[in-house]
Amino acid sequence: MNSDIKREELLISQLADLLVNDKHVAVGAASPIPGAAALLAKEEAKLNNKRLRVTILHSNKYNNFTDGARELFDCAAQGRIDTFFLGGVQIDGQANINLVGTGTYPKIEKRFPGSFGSALMYFVVPQIILFREEHSPRTLVDQVDFISAPGASDENIYRPGGPKYLITNRALFKFNKDLKKFSLLKLNQNQTIQDIKELTGFKFDISENISDMLNPDTTRLKTLRDKIAPMVSEFYPEFTNRIWGI
């Protein structure tokens, strides 16, 4: 059974584990894996008699907002969102993220979509999970070419939120706010610490409790495939077709 678990399913499962203490998780643009993880965590919370609210921006059905697109940002600034996900063309060792492009701005070499709402969400949501599937020296860099949102701010800046974790298809890191540095927490199966060192463009610490990411158990996998996948297909049809053929 375990051999046919897809990489995306493992990441969804790992992300769902990071959401167990939340009351409200929001998911933004271009985030099928975080979206699936949030809905999975919600489904599992129900089994434990807990309630998790999930807001998926690009869904009509799983969207709790009625006051237009600005409500996500207002709601986050009010402290009503516990976890949000951000990505990055580049992410650096101080957790600065770049969603704009490579090269020296404004003379961009390779242009990507843009910063979306990152420059506010990163400041106000307590648990930001950085999510970037590609784990390579070109995505995880020593210093980003453009800071869409900084990983840390000066003391006098209002900042109740910030980076907590970084997950890639190879590893899970925890961010240490005081040291402004990532610490390697979990490895995807078949990865070694040495592999991760070679594929990461920034220096990081290694957690004393480092372990392997756990595959989803049979129950979780069944929930994900039978129940969550069809829900995700409403707002990420291309993704669900590719992963689950629906």
Partner 1 sequence: MKSFDELSLKEIVNEVKDGCILGVPADYSGVPMEFTKRLIKKGIKDLKLYCLPLTTIQGDMLIGSGCVSEIEAAAVTLGEFGLAPRFSEAVENGSILIKDSTCPALHAQLQATEKSVPFMPLRGVIGSDIQKHRKDWCIIENPMKSSGVLNEPILLLPAVQLDILVFHASCADRNGNIQIGRRRELATLAHASKKVFVTVEKILDTDFFEDELSAATCLPGLYINGISIVKNGAWPCALPGVYPADNKEIKKYSLAAKTKQGFDDYMNQSLFI
Interacting residues toward partner 1 by CB under 8 A: 29-30, 32, 58, 60, 65-73, 77, 99-101, 105-124, 146-150, 153-154, 156-158, 236-239
Q: For 71-167, list the strands marked E by DSSP.
A: 83-86, 90-92, 97-98, 101-104, 107-111, 127-131, 140-141, 163-167
Whole-number minimum distance, CB 60 to partner 1, in Å? 6
Whole-number minimum distance, CB 153 to partner 1, in Å? 6
Whole-number minimum distance, CB 67 to partner 1, in Å? 5
Please report which helix (H) or strand (E) contains residue 243, including its range: helix 237-244
Whole-number minimum distance, CB 239 to partner 1, in Å? 7
Q: Which of 213, 246, 211, 231 is nearest to 14 (CA)?
A: 213
Question: Which is closer to partner 1, CB of 44 or CB of 146?
Answer: 146
Question: Which is closer to partner 1, CB of 111 or CB of 222?
Answer: 111
Whole-number minimum distance, CB 108 to partner 1, in Å? 6
Question: Which is closer to partner 1, CB of 50 or CB of 53?
Answer: 53
Question: Which is closer to partner 1, CB of 48 or CB of 156?
Answer: 156
Radius of gyration (Cα) for the chain, nearest Å? 17
Question: Which is closer to partner 1, CB of 109 or CB of 178?
Answer: 109
Question: Which is closer to partner 1, CB of 113 or CB of 137?
Answer: 113
Q: Cα–Cα distance between 12 and 223 in angstroms, integer?
A: 12
Do the Cβ atoms of 145 and 104 come closer than 8 Å? yes
Whole-number minimum distance, CB 88 to partner 1, in Å? 13
Q: What is the dihedral of CA 6, 8, 14, 20, to 10 degrees?
A: -120
Asked, as a colleague might, if the bond just before 32 is cis with ω within 30 of 0, I would say no
Place of tokens 């297909």: 233
